[in-house]
Structure 1
Amino acid sequence: MSNIWAVVFGGPSPEHEISILTGLQSERVLLDAGDTVLPLYWAPAGGFFLVPNKTEAKDYLEGVPKGSKAIDVRLGENAGLFIKKRFGEDELSPEAALLCLHGGVGEGGGAAALFSLLGIPATGSSLFAGAVGMDKLAFGGLMATAGIPSLPREPLSQLSEPSFGGPYIVKPRFGGSSIGIEIVDDIAAARAIGKASTHLRAGAVLEPYRPELVDLNISFRTAPTLEVTQLEKPLRGNSESGLYSYAEKYLAGEAGADAGLTSAPREFPADVPETVADRAAELARRVADATGLTGIVRVDLLLDEASGELYVNEVNSIPGAMSLYLWAPQRPAAEVLRDALVEARDKPFTLPAGGFGSGAALRAAGGIAGKLVGLDGPRG
């Protein structure tokens, strides 16, 4: 009997389209391996839909694909995913859900919380680990606390001055690794662009601009055991900034469904000294240990080729194409996805269940009205 998995993609995020590509790719991998797949599309406006199997990217150009069925997402005592029929309803009951959501509330822990409330095990780490991974300031602070080398990272503040001088890279505090990034000379320019940019208004972080640093990527997975891939070196374009841009990351490469995901320009394995590759693998394991991230994760690194210094830059708890291209020399794609789903199903993240205690606090509380005395503000 084949496994029954859900593959969840889309979502309200600037990376919505890339999430669709990752979801469709993952669905095909699992279908080709003989599993049953329920493709769940999260539309930008918030609705969930069960879409037909084997849809193509073009089917989403006008919105929800033809033949899709609206899903009733139900919380409460009878939580679950339901599809209404003419007479009654059908409940969708996957063994686990593969979250292919990039950026936004999906990758940031919101989907983990939702599926936990629905009672459906899901990949993509816990709410808490996912939120730290999406918050660049919190992630930088965690790296510093764990003693993992990273560049200085501070909030863009209208009140206090940064502890390091410009030029600066200004990044959205909450978001992906390549959208909304700006390079400025000084703090005044950073503050001005922080107010003007739609990507930065919700919060931004500052880092020193180091154009000599080289991008490197590595992936780890946590099931059946902690394992890392070889090191990848994305090849930057000829932009004046030298930054690895969104277009290069997701839209470059050969035309077709794989463009920017599995065929973007890259050097793989990266042509670096063995000491650098070993150090990258060590840092990836340390990131896994410090963050508590599970499933399939990509760690983005920065290398100073002159000194050999290596820094952890960011982490992607739900990486593009699920980093399957990084795993290809070591593990079949279906094995990587299945192992993540089995981990979610058999080893779910759980906290102590809520519930009533002895009632001592409630009995001792007295009347609530008495506790409101003095809370109505100052008296003249």
Structure 2
Amino acid sequence: MKTKLGLLYGGKSAEHKVSLQTALAVIHALDFNKYDIYPIYINEQGQWIKGEQLAGPVDEIKALQFFEGTSLSPVSIAQENFLNETHQEAERPFDVIFPLLHGPNGEDGTVQGLLEILNIPYVGNGVLSSAAGMDKVIMKNIFAHAGLDQVHYVSFIRSDWESEKEEVYKKVEEELGYPCFVKPANLGSSVGISKCTNRIELEQAFTEAFQYDRKIIIEQGVTAREIEIGVLGNEAPKCSIAGEIVPKVDFYDYKAKYEDGNTALIIPAEVTDKQYEKLTAMALKAFKALDCSGLVRADFFITEDGKILMNEINTMPGFTPFSMFPLLWKHTGVDYPSLIEKLISLAIERHEEKQKIKHTF
């Protein structure tokens, strides 16, 4: 029998368009002889719209955006598809869900929590690792506890900034100095990030970042190479070869990633055996510190004096065939279709492992 695969994409997030690109790429790579594929589109207003089973690959993003049809809430989809006790196993519409969601309301543990309640296998990280990996402040606090070297950082919530702006700016200048980077705590794809070299830019950056989150993080600027490694697995994760991002602009922002192509991806990165050994050890340590599963892209800095610093992990990295994570695995020997199949297999493996947990005593 074919595997019934639900693709969950779109989302009420600033990264909605990125998710659509990912969904289109994954559909093209899936083997329709192995999978019955069902699209579930979340529009920008947060409405869930379930599409008909796909007969084959679609050619454009518009085909994945359902503007007509039954608009459902997550709860109603759950009631219809999962909570009906009369369903036989063969009648269940999904064997596994692949959340192709980036950013809040998709990558942050919220959707993962729903799928856990429904007790259905899903690709990628669980509730805890998704939530912690999405919140850059929590993530860095956990990494600090795990003993991973990082750049210096401070964080603030909007209410503190609004009540004590001068004190907040002074703290950044005294503890970090310039240049520094201001980021929303809970957003990926470099949305809302600014590089600051003076007070005026810092004030503008705070205003910009607080549009996307109630909490922001400010990181000390470093002159360094940007190195990335893919991690794949559950209990025994493996690392890909290393890659390097070389922005042609001042820093790797959203436009450089998705619109202009203003970056060069160097795979494999020119790192020594000793550096690669340390990079992989740190990547696996970060993966386990957040109790990750499925996939992670681990991002690092290598400073001019050779020091390796943990930057962050991404629990749902860019996932088109031209994104860094799939490219890293392609050069490691796992092509895009095989990578997708491996992730689906890991999702089912993790779900089966969880079924061993005893819930009565």
| Structure 2 CA distance for aligned equivalents of residues 109 and 115 of structure 1 | 10
Give the conservation status (yes or no) of the 8 Å contact 1:223–1:339: no
Summarize the alignment of residues 328-347 of structure 1 with structure 2, pairs less than 5 Å apart.
Answer: 328-329=330-331, 330-347=333-350
Contact 2:27–2:58 (CA under 8 A) maintained in structure 1: no
Contact 2:246–2:265 (CA<8 Å) still a contact in 1? yes
Contact 1:75 1:117 in 2 (8 A): no
Residues 1-380 of structure 1 aligned to structure 2 (within 5 Å): 1-31=1-31, 34-51=34-51, 53=54, 54-59=57-62, 63-64=65-66, 70=71, 73-74=74-75, 78=79, 80=81, 93-156=93-156, 158=161, 159=164, 161-162=171-172, 163-185=175-197, 190-191=202-203, 193-195=205-207, 197-210=209-222, 212-223=223-234, 225-237=236-248, 239=249, 242-253=250-261, 265-304=264-303, 306-321=304-319, 323-329=325-331, 330-348=333-351
Question: Are the structure 2 counterparts of residues 72 and 244 from structure 1 closer, same or farther at C-alpha, using a change threshold of 3 Å?
Answer: closer
Kept in 1: contact 2:183–2:193 (CA 8 A): yes
- Structure 1 residues 1-58: Cα deviation after superposition (integer angstroms, max 9, x where no partner): 3222212111111111111111221222223563222222221112222335323344
Gaps of 5+ in 1: 83-89, 254-259, 358-380
Q: Which amino acid aligns with 1:228?
A: C
Contact map agreement 1:302 1:310 (CA 8 A) in 2: yes
What's the offset of the Cα at 1:97? 0.8
Residue aligned with 1:170, SS: strand
Deviation of 1:182 after TM superposition, in Å, equals 1.3
CA distance in structure 2 between the partners assigned to 1:58 and 1:343 by the alignment = 27
Change (3 A) 1:145 1:188: farther
Contact 1:107/1:317, CA 8 A, preserved across alignment: yes
User: Helix, strand or coil: the match of 1:125?
Assistant: coil
Is contact 1:297–1:319 with CA below 8 Å preserved after alignment?
yes
Larger radius of gyration: 1
| Residues 39/201 of structure 1: CA separation in 2 closer, same or farther (3 Å cut) | closer
Q: TM-score, normalised by structure 1?
A: 0.77
Residue 131 of structure 1 aligns to a residue whose secondary structure is: helix
By how many angstroms is 1:75 displaced? 6.2
* Distance of aligned partners of 1:81 and 1:13 in 2 relative to their CA distance in 1, 3 Å threshold: farther
Whole-Å separation in 1 of the counterparts to 2:288 and 2:143? 11
CA contact (8 A) 1:177 1:314 kept: no
**Following the alignment from structure 1 to structure 2, what is the Cα–Cα distance between the partners of residues 69 and 315?**
36
Stretches (4+) displaced over 6 A:
351-355
Equivalent pair of 2:295/2:343 in contact (CA under 8 Å)? yes
Measured in 1, the distance between the counterparts of 2:62 and 2:92 equals 23
CA RMSD of aligned residues (A): 3.1
Residue identity over aligned pairs, in percent, reads 21
Query: Once structures 1 and 2 are overlaid, which stretch shifts more, 277-286 or 189-198?
Result: 189-198
Cα pair 2:193 2:209 within 8 Å, conserved = no
Q: Structure 2 length normalisation: TM-score?
A: 0.81
CA contact (8 A) 1:296 1:317 kept: yes
Superposed CA deviations along residues 205-262 of structure 1, whole A, max 9, x for unmatched, are 111122x21211111011484111111112211x3xx211212222344xxxxxx9xx
Please name the residue that 2:86 is paired with.
none
| Structure-2 residue corresponding to 1:372 | none
Write the deviation string for residues 92-149 of structure 1: whole angstroms up to 9, x where unpaired.
5211111111111200111101112233221221111111001011111111100011
Alpha-carbon separation, structure 1, partners of 2:142 and 2:253: 25
CA distance in 2, matches of 1:265, 1:243: 12
Which consecutive unaligned segments of at least 5 residues does structure 2 have? 84-89
* TM-superposition CA deviations, 1:277-310 (whole Å, max 9, x none): 2221111111111111111111111111x21111
The CA distance in 2 between the partners of 1:79 and 1:172, in whole Å, is 36
What amino acid does structure 1 have at the position aligned with 2:282?
L
- How many aligned residue pairs are there? 333
